[in-house]
Amino acid sequence: MNISTRLDDIRRAFPACETLAYADISTNNVLSSSAEKQLHQEHLNDLCNTAVDMLSGASADRVSCVWADNHSEFPDVYQAIIIEIAEVGIFLRSASNPTDALCCVCLPTIDIPAFIASARQHLEEIGKDK
């Protein structure tokens, strides 16, 4: 199954997910996207920048030190969620290919645990498809 089909499948299963992008966070590039409305490149770039910051950038480093042991390296962040009154942003990093990530903007009605479980499964499958 190709990437765009997987992204469309996720959105079909979760209509409250309005925007979905598959990105390489090591190069800060969106590789594929699926959205209710047509997206501009700078919109996607913003989404990817946020994913990089939260999953592997300064924000991730600052927060992951909270659960790091004194003598170990900072553990990686594999998931970040921003919950607001009007929207929910979800950023998932692949456990098998840590440079792969899904960036999602959803309505607040989204079932977050169910969505994350499904999206993560697809994210790991994308790594196997490649």
Residues that bind another protein (CB under 8 A): 19, 37-40, 42-43, 46-47, 49-50, 53-54, 57-60, 62-67, 75-87, 89, 95, 105, 108, 112-113, 120
Sign of CA dihedral 101, 46, 81, 117: negative
Which residue number, 3 or 77, has a Cβ lying nearer to another protein? 77
Task: Pick the closest to residue 9 from 107, 89, 119, 93 (CA basis).
Answer: 119
Task: Pick the closest to residue 81 from 58, 113, 49 (CA basis).
Answer: 113
Q: How far is the CB of 113 from another protein (least distance, A)?
A: 4
According to DSSP, residue 22 is labeled E
Which residue number, 1 or 63, has a Cβ lying nearer to another protein? 63
Q: How far is the CB of 19 from another protein (least distance, A)?
A: 8
Q: How far is the CB of 99 from another protein (least distance, A)?
A: 16
Q: Which helix (H) or strand (E) holds 33?
A: strand 29-35
Strands 100-106 and 17-24: antiparallel
Q: How far is the CB of 92 from another protein (least distance, A)?
A: 9
Which residue number, 3 or 116, has a Cβ lying nearer to another protein? 116
